[in-house]
């Protein structure tokens, strides 16, 4: 999911964004190491092009921390642990912190047992799923991630009440010389971030993104989002995927799903009890990792070099765009809209930290 | 995926179909127990409404067994085994046999370690994924299944060569009094079985199912399937899912994927080297199974009883239709088209077994 490129965007060095976000979280009461972890996970989204999960979210997170909705000093604990499974309680801390912990635990379990499945309760919004499946991938493992979205925007197929999140699925698979394959998709036709971007810009949405709760007709006016529901991808299939991912990420971990998800009528201070799961799978239990990597490279090359339809520039393999964007942004800075830079500079004043603009 | 109901269909008792298919496989050289297992898995598809994966497939399977493409006396072995993972070699046996074995092994690993991930190589077409996730479900566990289709019908998004199967994903989750949630979907807009059914009936296909390999335009004439490719569900998302499922089910297990999948140019006797994976997850590692079951029931009820869009009879929760169909068909017989009954009766003569029609 990408925020449309803004022609007025300014390139800001990655190191400046990381330092700024770390300061902001420290100012909100996070311990030094936790502030760095959360800022790092958010920068990962900014670098790889999941712009709606990076510094764009900072003001919202700060608000939740300052008002006590998120716990800045979370004590993450392991409630249950088996040879290959664990259940983590996030203590209502920031989702980035909880999921970084859970992903590393899944890798540890997979190292010992071949596969590790870690369920999570009492977490919060954790940004881009690609960030967390990249943790097993960095250890030469495959990763699978889901989140039960902390807001409901989709109905079960045929329904008129939004009782499902756009519960995403992310899958990461290591390769050799080729970039790892990293898929990260919402189970709605388009993600919440993309819909909000159109709505905020006052740009009409294409038909097929949002439908009316009253009669299922198309809603294209972003001002009418409250009357609408997001369309699941591929109709009943996206609804079905959101349900099964939601049940395995939610109720299995005693986390929120369906009518238990916080809504407009919930007390604002109530915690979201966001659920997740993450799986790490050790490739080495199946074949020598070097053989797997070279087979991955061969197959990726076969797909990307295969014949294209007329008018197509490039065949899309999940994750390849991410690596190119990351290289560019590491070198040339992350493009940020002037409005976003102004917003975070204003935020700096309230937090009494150095503004982003002054950093280099 | 359902074959459209035929108004001329005759109801045939489930026990007769099971006995007939068992005899057929025995006549093809399968050991008694294996013949029963395969026939049972195919009947499961017929009972639950996956009609394209039941007795409908029998003549094709018999042909493969008789011509030596499938191995009727497969010696299934475990090549690698860890505390929570295993790699199974199907010895080019029938996929139903291999996947029944793999699913039971996944349950065994999950009982010991919390989760079991079993990869499979050298299998064949195994019918409906719902059959195999129902094995962990019967043990109170969740199950996740994929197959790398033994034929390629989809291109990677933007491509003009069908290098991907319609690699399905199935997920099963146990409930209490409600039917288990069982999702079983192809990653194409519609499944191969449904497309073939339209093509065989000479019925024009809706636009959006199949596109031209030449220019991406819609193909609606079933006679032109050879010039077409199946559309992935939700465009690049279905393509991405088919890729990641295919890589984890194929190359990770040293099974076929991409250009290695058998095609029209392959020698007909070459084995398909079909890959799969199946995961079993023990609910009891996360919370008491009774608590989980009652939470599942509550959430299923919340979804099915929620407000419907105008004109909608029923809110669709994956798996609920299956249970109703199974009850009906167990009691009243499986509806089979007269052409299908004639086909299997003709087959009986070549196999020297009693025809289906004479059984009750």
Grouped pLDDT means (10 residues each) for chain A, 360 residues: 63 97 98 98 95 93 96 98 98 98 98 98 97 98 97 96 97 97 97 87 93 97 94 96 98 98 87 98 98 98 98 93 93 94 96 92
Q: Do A183 and B244 touch (CB under 8 A)?
A: yes
Same domain, B103 and B173: yes
Is the Cβ pair A80, B285 closer than 8 Å? yes
- What pLDDT is stored for residue B51 in this prediction? 85
Residue B321 touches partner A, C-beta closer than 8 Å: no
Q: Hey, are the CB atoms on A189 and B234 less than 8 Å from each other?
A: yes
pLDDT score at B100: 98
Query: In chain B, which residues have pLDDT < 70?
Result: 1-6
Considering the domain architecture, whether residues A58 and A126 belong to the same structural domain is answered as no
In total, the C-beta contacts within 8 angstroms joining chain A to chain B are 237
**A35 min Cα distance to partner chain B (Å):** 29
B317: nearest CB among A171, A243, A306? A243
pLDDT at A138: 98
What are φ and ψ of residue B279, in 5° steps?
-115, 135
Chosen from A280, A286, A320 to mutate, greatest number of chain B CBs within 10 A: A286
pLDDT attached to residue A196: 86
Answer yes or no: is A225 within a domain: no
Q: What is the pLDDT of residue B5?
A: 53
The partner residue sitting opposite B115, judged by closest CB among A112, A115, A215, is A115
Q: According to the model, what pLDDT value does residue A6 have?
A: 67
Tell me which chain B residues have a C-beta less than 8 angstroms from the C-beta of A243. 181, 183, 303, 317-318
CB contacts under 8 A, B 139-198 vs A, are 142, 155-161, 163, 171, 173, 181, 183, 185, 189
| A169 and A90 housed in the same domain | yes
B248 and B121 in one domain? yes
Identify the pLDDT of residue A8: 85
Range of the domain at B271: 74-188+232-305
Residues of chain B neighbouring A241 (CB-CB closer than 8 A): 183, 185
Question: What pTM, to 2 d.p., does this model score?
Answer: 0.97
- Is B264 in CB contact (< 8 Å) with chain A? no
Check B159 against A315: CB less than 8 A apart. Answer: yes
Q: A168 with A278, same domain? A: yes
Which contiguous run of DSSP H or E holds residue B229? strand B228-230
Are B183 and B56 members of one domain? no
Asked, for residue A103, whether it belongs to a domain, the answer is yes
Q: Are residues A124 and A44 in the same domain?
A: no
pLDDT of residue B4: 45
* Ramachandran quadrant class, A216 (left: phi over 0; alpha: psi -120 to 50; beta: rest): left
Q: CB-based contact (8 Å) between A299 and chain B?
A: yes
Q: Are residues A126 and A47 in the same domain?
A: no
In a domain, B320, yes or no: no
By DSSP bridging, strand B274-282 and strand A85-89 are unpaired
Question: Which residues of chain A have a CB within 8 Å of the CB of B295?
Answer: 251
Q: How far A66 CA lies from chain B's nearest CA (Å)? A: 32
Full 3-state SS string of chain A? CCCCCCCCCEEECHHHHHHHHHHHHHHCCCCHHHHHHHHHHHHHHHHHCCHHHCHHHHHHHHHHHHCCCCCCCCCCEEEEECCCEEEEECCCCCHHHHHHHHHHHHHHHHHHHCEEEEEEEEECCCCCHHHHHHHHHHCCEEEEEEECCCCCCECCCCECCCCECCCCEEEEECCCCCCCEEEEECCECCCHHHHHHHHHCCCCCCCCCEEECCCCCEECCHHHHHHEEECECCCHHHHHHHHHHHHHHCHHHCCCCHHHCCCCCCCCCCCCCEEEEEEEEEHHHCCCHHHHHHHHHHHHHHHHCCCECCCCCCCCCCCHHHHHHHHHHHHHCEEECHHHHHHHHHHHHHHCCCCCCCCC
Do B46 and B114 share a domain, yes or no? Answer: no
Q: CB contact, 8 Å: A290 with chain B?
A: no
Of B247, B252, B316, the CB nearest to A236: B316
How far is it, in rounded angstroms, from Cα B89 to Cα B111? 22
B300 shares its domain with B346: no
Q: Is A309 on the interface with B (CB under 8 A)?
A: yes
Residue B226 located in a structural domain:
no
* Structural domains in chain B (count): 2
- CATH code assigned at A90: 3.30.1370.60
Look at residue B346 in the predicted model and tell me its pLDDT: 97
A44 with A98, same domain? no
């Amino acid at each position: 999911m990408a925020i449309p490129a803004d022609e007025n965007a300014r390139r800001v060095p990655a190191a400046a964004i990381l330092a700024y976000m770390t300061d902001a979280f420290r100012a909100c009461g996070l311990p030094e190491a936790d502030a760095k972890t959360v800022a790092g996970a958010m920068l990962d989204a900014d670098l790889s092009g999941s712009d709606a999960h990076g510094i764009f979210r900072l003001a919202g997170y700060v608000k939740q921390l300052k008002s006590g909705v998120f716990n800045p000093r979370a004590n993450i604990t392991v409630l249950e642990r088996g040879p290959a499974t664990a259940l983590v309680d996030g203590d209502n801390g920031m989702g980035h912190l909880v999921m970084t912990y859970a992903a590393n635990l899944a890798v540890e379990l997979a190292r010992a047992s071949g596969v590790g499945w870690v369920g999570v309760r009492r977490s919060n919004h954790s940004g881009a799923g690609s960030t967390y499946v990249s943790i097993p991938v960095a250890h030469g493992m495959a990763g699978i991630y889901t989140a039960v979205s902390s807001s409901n925007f989709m109905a079960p197929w045929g329904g008129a009440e939004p009782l499902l999140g756009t519960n995403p699925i992310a899958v990461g698979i290591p390769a050799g010389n080729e970039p790892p394959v990293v898929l990260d998709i919402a189970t709605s036709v388009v993600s919440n971030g993309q819909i909000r971007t159109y709505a905020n810009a006052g740009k009409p949405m294409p038909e097929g993104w949002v439908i009316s709760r009253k009669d299922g007709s198309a809603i294209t006016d972003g001002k009418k989002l409250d009357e609408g529901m997001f369309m699941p991808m591929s109709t009943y299939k996206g609804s079905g995927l959101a349900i099964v991912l939601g049940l395995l990420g939610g109720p299995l971990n005693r986390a929120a799903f369906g009518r238990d998800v916080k809504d407009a009528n919930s007390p604002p201070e109530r915690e979201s009890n966001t659920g997740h799961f993450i799986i790490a799978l050790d490739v080495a239990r199946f074949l020598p990792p070097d053989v797997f990597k070279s087979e991955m490279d061969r197959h990726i090359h076969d797909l990307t070099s295969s014949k294209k339809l007329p008018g197509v520039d490039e065949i899309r393999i999940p994750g390849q765009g991410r690596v190119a964007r990351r290289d560019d942004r590491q070198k040339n800075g992350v493009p940020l809209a002037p409005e976003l830079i102004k917003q975070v500079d204003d935020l700096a004043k309230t937090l009494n930290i150095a503004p982003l603009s002054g950093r280099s």
